[in-house]
Amino acid sequence: MTMKKEVCDAVNKQINAEFYSAYLYLSMAAYFESLSLKGFAQWMKTQAKEEEKHAMKLFDHVVDRDAKVMLDAIDKPKQEWKSTLAVLEEAYKHEQSITLRIHTLLDLARKEKDYAAEVLLHWFVAEQVEEEHSTLTILDQLKLLGDSRSGLLDLDRELGGRKD
């Protein structure tokens, strides 16, 4: 069954949002690299790869539904932050905004009775719980560290252990 135009358009916009997320996390990784926080950078690079996988999951869904993928320009992400804490605050807010987008897309799929899209989007709803939780955990740990440079380096080492 071919996708309805409104659902297809919204999924295409979400593909763009997922690729933007990857781009944003790469920019955050570059920022951490500039501070020699290799673990934070590794965590963000892994996060970027995950966002690309999300985009491709949506991409494949559109193709499988015999609809057209319409890629759009990806906005330039922010390049500088005032602190490590500011980066994680932005990452957490970004994940919350993606969650809202997924919920809105799910509402549209339900309204249009696009059951195939609804099933796919349930996976994204669960994924966003994990995305928000992991980002918030790091944010909370940074807040607990305060100005502790040794604590920051310990957390950096821990984050560097994240694998795909």
- Does residue 163 surpass a pLDDT of 90? no
Mean pLDDT of 66-90: 96
Distances from the Cα of 44 to the Cα of 37, 39, 112, 134, angstroms: 11, 9, 36, 12
Give all domains of the chain, ordered by start, each with its CATH number.
5-159 (1.20.1260.10)
The span from the CA of 159 to the CA of 153, in Å, is 10
Evaluate if residue 2 carries a pLDDT over 90. Answer: no
Using the structure block, give the residue that is written with the tokens 């015999």: 66
Could you read off the pLDDT of 11-39 as tens digits, one per residue? 999 999 999 999 999 999 999 999 999 99
Segments in the chain forming alpha helices (H): 5-34, 38-64, 84-111, 115-145, 149-159
Question: pLDDT digit string (tens) for 145-158?
Answer: 998 999 999 999 99
**Distance (Å, whole) CA 105 – CA 132:** 18
Give the whole-number percent of the chain exceeding pLDDT 90: 96
pTM reported for the whole predicted model: 0.94
